[in-house]
Structure 1
Amino acid sequence: MDTRTYMEDNLKVIATELPVNAILHFWLKAISPDQPGSVSLRNSDGKFGEVQAVNAEEHSFRIYQIFGGGEVECVYDPAMTSLSVAYWFTPHDVLETGITVLHTNPANEAPDLPHGYHFRPPFGWMNDPNGFGRFGGRPHLFYQHYSHGRIWNNMHWGHAVSADYLRWRHLPVFLFPSEAVTVRPDMRGGAFSGSAIALPNGPGIRVFFTEKIAERTPEQEIQMTATSGDLFSAGAAEVLLGERPDGEGLTPDFRDPYVFRGPDGLWKMLLGSQSDQGGVILLYETEDGTAATGWRYCGKLFVETQYRTTALECPCLLPLDGDARNPATRWALIYGLMNGEDKDTGRRNLTMVDVGWFDGRHFAKEFGRELDFGTDNYAFQAFVDGDTPVGIGWIGNWADTGPAIDFPSAMSLPRTLKIEDGALLTPPIQAAESLRGRMLDRTRLAAGQSVALPHGAVEILFDLAEPGAHFRLELEHPETRLALVQTDEGIEILHDNGKPGPRYLGKGARGSRFRVFLDYGSIEVFVDHGRHAATKRISGFEPIRAVKLQTDAGMLQRATLWEMRL
């Protein structure tokens, strides 16, 4: 169904063909506080409806249902009304068809990136993945979202659904900040990160999230819950935990509820905070089979003292190599080190993963490592899909982004987690191979020649004759000097944009098989089937234009380059 936008007597007209029972979502605001902003709805018979907003500080959300369908025109005066976003959908098939975006503006429109294959929102800002799971037979991804610009502001939850974790359909915005927060774009809070579970007594989901209101006392951050029977719209949210546990010396940080089944069959909840001992993960549990009530504090599951964080964020705990009820099953505890720093390399906000055993109350660590030495795989959230642990992270890092920086929001490639020969592997999901299109090269890269790229979306696969063999993969970018190298120190992403920065070094890593995924604004590296991984965001939307691989004589066995596409 085509959409046309044009001007008519100083009015902007958005004309589209709508099916029966379409629902329109608008975000609009008044240009002046003296006169409301409005969008009129008209068809061949004339005007039949209107939505208005009196707020001149922030866009207000409005809904209109079109029962009859047919050609509809949305009309407004740009001198009096700012329209940020408009989209439509039909409730009976939205999970199969998604939303249709009618309007964005230069501040929030999605970039046009030919063949880009990482998940991006249809408009606006995105950060942490939330509520990642399989519901109603499909993978769902919720995420931190602000609709009206590509810069962080008061948080909503965006939403998408997929069949394969790679090709996503955008769904209506799922969670909204409280009305007290949405009246102005002042970055006071909103619906922060959380998780989701399937409703145990029928179809639908229950979501858990942190509500933040910066000036609220005594608790800026509290835990909320809401349910959805139709899998795309949330009911009214209710308070789940209204205060931090007493006597633990916690800062006001109290956020990111992750809910999962423990080995004892009870629902468990992890929350991130900071204590006088260090960054901390708190453990709660409930005997309520619906997870809606009865949550009690069990204690500190984990305290991190090495990196001097301001808080641990986005904790996640899941079984790796067996049934959760089996005491021998190992679990992965994943968490972000908010403002923590690795002094040797200068990298900040690392994401860590510890592997060990969880008995329902205590976690016994066997070993641990960085999840991703490139640092730009933050807020990683995972769950067990059938018998396969699957996770996804935000390609971003609060060390080099924030409320004043506009950059391309994207999620990492989904990854599996598994134990092999006593090591944790985090390779991309097997379906990532379905993104390969035309083979671009299998001889020139191996011969040390430069290979031009047709666009910014490619995969490079190469094998070395010996683990740890030195190489340099040059990545020609118009704004940033980029390379991937292996030296005696380890594997490193060299990133030089003319400013002092950290070293993205996997110290001591010695790899022989490399998969390198290039996309607009990012590089992801998987070494030896995910034994090591690195993700680095690249500023802006300019693609890498050419690649060149250099190795010691006789050390390169093969190199292949694919064009990627969704």
Structure 2
Amino acid sequence: MMISLTAPFLLFPTRRDAPLCKLHFLLAGRKVQEADVRLCAPDDADFVGCMDASAWFRQTLEVLSSDADDALLSGISVSDEPPVYTPDARPLLHFTPPFGWHNDPNGLIRVGEAYHLFYQWNPFGLNWGNMHWGHAVSRDLLHWTHRPVAAAPDDTGTVYSGSAFCDAENASGLGKNTLLFYYTAAGGANEWSKQAGNLHTQRLMISRDGGETLTRSDAFLLPHIAGGNRDPKVFYHPESAAYIMVLYLDGSEFAIFRSPDLLHWTEASRLNANGMWECPDLFRLPIDGADKWVFWSADGYYMLGAFDGFRFTPETPVLMAYATRLPYAAQTYANVPERVISVAWLRMKDDTRGFHGMMAIPAELSLRRTPDGIRLAFQPVQELDAVRGEPLFLPRRSDSAEFPLADTPCELLFRCKPNQPLTLTLGGTVLTAENARLHIQPVLGQDAVDAHLDVNEPIRVILDRGVIEVFANGGTFWAALEAEGDLLTKAVSIAGAGGLKVYPLH
């Protein structure tokens, strides 16, 4: 079927239970895109997928598929705008994609005053697949502006996770302050790359306009090593005067590479970390006047240790950072030397709002001493303090209280005091702090959470549409919980409301 691109976007009526159709897009006989789409008749659709076709605006695309006849393909239409989904149901402080499925944060980097967030994105549906890099920009890490799609699949594979680095010294020869985006071309994940015989390789995109547009570059290629090797994370190690890449290989095995110029890499060591897999990160944090290195993986498992530029030497067993299973694939920001900021994807179940998944509130990382040893701590970024409104102090001696959220995100702040139990009912989620213990009974089939409380540290609870985040014990306890999409239309009930503060977040 031929489509005249009289507008820059193609819309695809889809239904989650429809069979996948493999669509091939050709321009003058040359393949320019491919996608797996659960295509259906327009009247049967429960979601409209979208492809940015602006690169071929005012030209004619041919759409081929052995899975869909012309009647089904005729439901594809052109549009001046992408679809807009449920603005009234979106979280107000947690990032969500404009539509479709999203997962891992990618290419996190600050450029000037702008924080760039790239992410795994399927604009064609509410399921995982067709991995692109989506893109958004923020000046405060809380309010985001969507940008055009940054990268789409090609014959090297779909666009899996990766990281960003600013080449301030022009070590690569690609230009001073050129942004380098290392990513995994997931060869074999689409038919296009299978036909080309490509496997998972590490490749490069560059930006010379501050991250606004990314262009593929042939200046770097790390060939396939093992399994589904993926997720390169790159940084500079001044003590050994080398650029470092950490890469997931297969199973629980990771590799560390070194480079003098950001383009040519030599394997320095391997690390087998039982239970850890994919999305590695390696960064340092201060504690007691010295630095510890943190080796990190997708599920929130991490180890503390030493790093000499060649090898990471663990000094702890594998530890767990998260109190719940919702966060995944966190990555730290590049080009923010004064602090370590991490963003995690939250694996939400709700896919009824035209988008699937969200990001956690960005967190600042630190190390803290605990009775169990040194542990990683999370606190919401300091920018959250700047959006706090005037606090509401609830009565100290009230046995119970209730206040409406008025569709406004808020932060609850309190301490667990001896002989003063406190119970918060947050929609269907119930949080109880009593006798130095915290118990959370969540909704939507999530596991209950129990933890010991440090009574000297405040408990912070952040409420947004569809999500609750709880920080305690100086940040060494962090729980992210899925909540009802209409949570902010409800009232919060408090039993034993001594000393509770409520801050609206704007």
Please give the TM-score of this superposition, normalised by the length of structure 2: 0.76
- 1:62-100 superposed Cα distances (whole Å, 9 cap, x missing partner): 22699xxxxxxxxxxx994534775xxxxxxxxxxxxxx
How many pairs does the alignment contain? 444
**Aligned match of 1:135:** 111
Distance 1:518 1:389, change over 3 A: same
Amino acid at match of 2:242: L
- 1:362-408 superposed Cα distances (whole Å, 9 cap, x missing partner): 223344632221222211111361221111111117xx689x99764
* Partner SS, residue 112 of structure 1: helix
Q: Which runs of 5+ in 1 are unaligned?
A: 1-13, 15-23, 38-52, 67-77, 87-101, 182-189, 245-249, 337-349
**Aligned match of 2:66:** none
C-alpha distance in structure 2 between counterparts of 1:285 and 1:54, whole Å: 34
* Partner SS, residue 558 of structure 1: coil
Amino acid at match of 1:531: T
**Aligned match of 2:53:** 62
- 1:465-519 superposed Cα distances (whole Å, 9 cap, x missing partner): 35x975432222xxxx31223467953431243x5x534344x444541110011
Alignment of 1:149 onto 2:136: no
Aligned residues of 1:29 and 1:54 also touching (Cα < 8 A): no
Alignment of 1:121 onto 2:97: yes
Aligned residues of 1:131 and 1:142 also touching (Cα < 8 A): yes
Amino acid at match of 1:334: W
C-alpha distance in structure 2 between counterparts of 1:436 and 1:84, whole Å: 42
Offset of residue 172 of structure 1: 1.4
Aligned residues of 1:407 and 1:540 also touching (Cα < 8 A): no
**Aligned match of 2:62:** none
Distance 1:55 1:125, change over 3 A: closer
**Aligned match of 1:425:** 377
C-alpha distance in structure 1 between counterparts of 2:9 and 2:119, whole Å: 20
RCO higher in structure (CA 8 A, sep ≥6): 2
- After TM superposition, list the pairs within 5 Å mapping 1:388-403 onto structure 2: 388-396=339-347
* Partner SS, residue 139 of structure 1: strand
* Partner SS, residue 547 of structure 1: strand
Offset of residue 207 of structure 1: 0.4
- After TM superposition, list the pairs within 5 Å mapping 1:126-275 onto structure 2: 126-178=102-154, 190-200=158-168, 201=170, 202-212=176-186, 213-214=188-189, 216=194, 220-230=199-209, 231-238=211-218, 240-244=221-225, 252-262=227-237, 263-275=239-251
C-alpha distance in structure 2 between counterparts of 1:30 and 1:527, whole Å: 44
Amino acid at match of 1:417: L
Amino acid at match of 2:504: E
- Among 311, 327, 330, the residue aligned to 1:377: 327
Query: Quick check: 165-174 or 433-442, which moved more?
Result: 433-442
Offset of residue 280 of structure 1: 2.1
Offset of residue 237 of structure 1: 4.2
Q: Which runs of 5+ in 2 are unaligned?
A: 1-5, 15-20, 26-31, 38-49, 58-71, 171-175
**Cα RMSD (Å):** 4.0
Amino acid at match of 2:503: W
* Partner SS, residue 450 of structure 1: strand
Please give the TM-score of this superposition, normalised by the length of structure 1: 0.69
Amino acid at match of 2:312: F
**Aligned match of 1:41:** none
Aligned residues of 1:159 and 1:174 also touching (Cα < 8 A): yes
**Aligned match of 2:432:** 485
C-alpha distance in structure 2 between counterparts of 1:459 and 1:376, whole Å: 20
Offset of residue 438 of structure 1: 5.4
C-alpha distance in structure 2 between counterparts of 1:471 and 1:84, whole Å: 55
Offset of residue 560 of structure 1: 1.2
C-alpha distance in structure 2 between counterparts of 1:369 and 1:445, whole Å: 40
* Partner SS, residue 160 of structure 1: strand
Distance 1:513 1:242, change over 3 A: same
**Aligned match of 1:72:** none
**Aligned match of 1:26:** 9
Aligned residues of 1:142 and 1:158 also touching (Cα < 8 A): yes
**Aligned match of 2:303:** 354
